[in-house]
Amino acid sequence: MKNKNKTKKDKQPKQRQSLDLKAPAALAPPAPKIQLDLRKPAQPLSAAQFLEEYEQQQRQRRPARTQGERQSEKLVETILAGPAPTGSPSAKGPRPHRAIKLGIDVHLQRYVVVRQIDGATPQPAQTFTPAQFLPWVKKQTELAEQVYSCYEAGPFGYSLHRKLAALGVTNYVVRPRDWDEYGQKVKTDQRDAKAMVLDLDRFVGGNQKAFCVVRVPTEAEEQARSRSRQRGSLQKEKQRLAAQGRSDALYYGRRLEGEWWTGARWKELDQPPIVLELLAPLRRLILALEVELKAQTQALSAAAPEELPLGLGQLTYEILEREICDWGRFHNRREVASYTGMCPSEDSSSTRRFQGAINKHGNRRLRPVLVECLWRLAVFQPEYRLVKKWGPELINPKTGRPRRKKIIVAMARGFSVDWWRVRTGRCKAEDLGLKLQRACGIPRAKRAPTTI
């Protein structure tokens, strides 16, 4: 008997478990009660009649909706339906989004893009070919009231910027930098594009220090600057070939000095046959480069005005003008000096202040031109205010060579500010002590009475 009772008790939990499994069915909403008229004979209802009566009873039980609920439901339906296709009547209405931001990592065969819609989290990176990118950007302009984008300045120039601007996109060309702020030593195109779009979001929000925006020159300014820069590239190539010839001679125990490729010195070379054989093709290339350099120098000098400060030079004037593009874009002297990259570096904290070498942040093509110009002005412009200030120390025999270089760099930085004042009409060259002379009357370089 005891065993039988145990078996019955053991079966009870199983029965309860089976009932629990069926419990959800019991919790299901009750079937709709259909009120039938008993005075009429009962007739089976069709499916359409059944659904009609069921919806009628549900409407009677449902509370009345407010106007706000109806508007919210319409808004949800609009968002779920997505943006209207181009050309439809609703496409002319308000855009679904306020702003779309694009961070673009530009390469030759592909663009890696990270998109941020309004203030949301940036989306995963997308990759486009140059042919696919612009049609995709055009679709973004139809989705938002304003589209912002940015990419780093580089060898691809500003053609992409002009194409984006033609589509109505507010694009920024930013200065290249290391986007790995925390030093994780993981650099990918996707990370760079994401970092760019996050800084773009801060920049659009009002943080002007988020990144450094590069001024985009006009097409005429860009083409004029490219001509002067090509001359500089040819000059560097000539120097490289000359150094290669000296290296070949040094390899065989001989030494070459000066312009070894000129006619008179080439005939007087006393070198082994193998050295002459190696130098011959280099000489032909250098001579061809000299012909091209002479033609480009004459073309640049011809574009300069006739009246210039004595010692400035037509070529120097044209290089400065083409690199700056527009002197009026600087608002104060600090911006001019900063653009030259000749401001001293600084490491200061609390009461300690230390200023070191120049930071070299700016246009690297301006520095050698300005330094060369100031060495000439120190000779030909003794009345110039900066020469009066630094001249006594510059010609002092006790002044060492490193100190003279620092003085010339300081004078070059000051001259860039003075020339900005002259070019923007803030003062005249004569007010600064600069003597003007026509280009045709400028004498050839002569040694000044005081040696520097």
Hey, where are the domains in the chain?
A: 97-204, 219-302, 307-346+358-441
SS3 86: coil
d(CA 276, CA 41): 125
Give the pLDDT score at 3.
Answer: 53
Is 435 exposed, middle or buried (CB count within 10 Å of its CB: 0-12, 13-18, 19+)?
A: middle
The architecture in CATH of the region 97-204 reads 2-Layer Sandwich (3.30)
Per-residue pLDDT of the chain (452 residues; tens, 9 = 90+): 445 554 444 545 444 444 444 444 444 455 555 454 444 444 555 656 666 776 676 666 655 555 545 544 554 354 344 444 444 434 455 778 999 999 999 999 999 999 999 989 999 999 999 999 999 999 999 999 999 999 999 999 999 999 999 999 999 999 999 988 888 899 999 999 999 999 999 999 999 999 999 999 999 999 999 999 999 999 999 999 999 999 999 999 999 999 999 998 999 999 999 999 999 999 999 999 999 999 999 999 999 999 999 999 999 999 999 999 999 999 999 999 999 999 999 999 988 999 899 999 999 999 999 999 999 999 999 999 999 999 999 999 999 999 999 999 999 999 999 999 999 999 999 999 999 988 654 444 444 444 44
d(CA 243, CA 252): 15
Q: For the segment 163-193, what is each residue's pLDDT rounded down to a tens digit? A: 999 999 999 999 999 988 888 899 999 999 9
Token pair, residue 293, equals: 């350099």
Q: For the segment 221-256, what is each residue's pLDDT rounded down to a tens digit? A: 999 999 999 999 999 999 999 999 999 999 999 999
First to last CA, the chain: 127
Instruction: Compute the radius of gyration of the chain from its Cα atoms.
Output: 39
Cα separation values, 391 from 289, 379, 428, 432, Å: 38, 10, 22, 15
Report which residue type is found at 241: L
Counting Cα atoms < 13 Å in the Cβ hemisphere of 249 gives 19
Longest dimension (CA), the chain: 136
d(CA 314, CA 320): 10
DSSP 236-298: HHHHHHHHHHHHHHHHTT----S-TTSHHHHHT----HHHHHHHHHHHHHHHHHHHHHHHHHH
**Between vectors from CA 398 to CA 396 and to CA 404, what angle results, nearest 5°?**
65
Give the pLDDT score at 151.
Answer: 97
Element spanning 353, H or E: none
Question: Under a CB-based contact definition with an 8 Å cutoff, are residues 340 and 330 in contact?
Answer: no
- Going by C-beta distance under 8 Å and a sequence separation of 6 or more, which residues neighbour residue 361? 338, 341, 343
Q: Model-level pTM greater than 0.85?
A: no
Report which residue type is found at 260: W
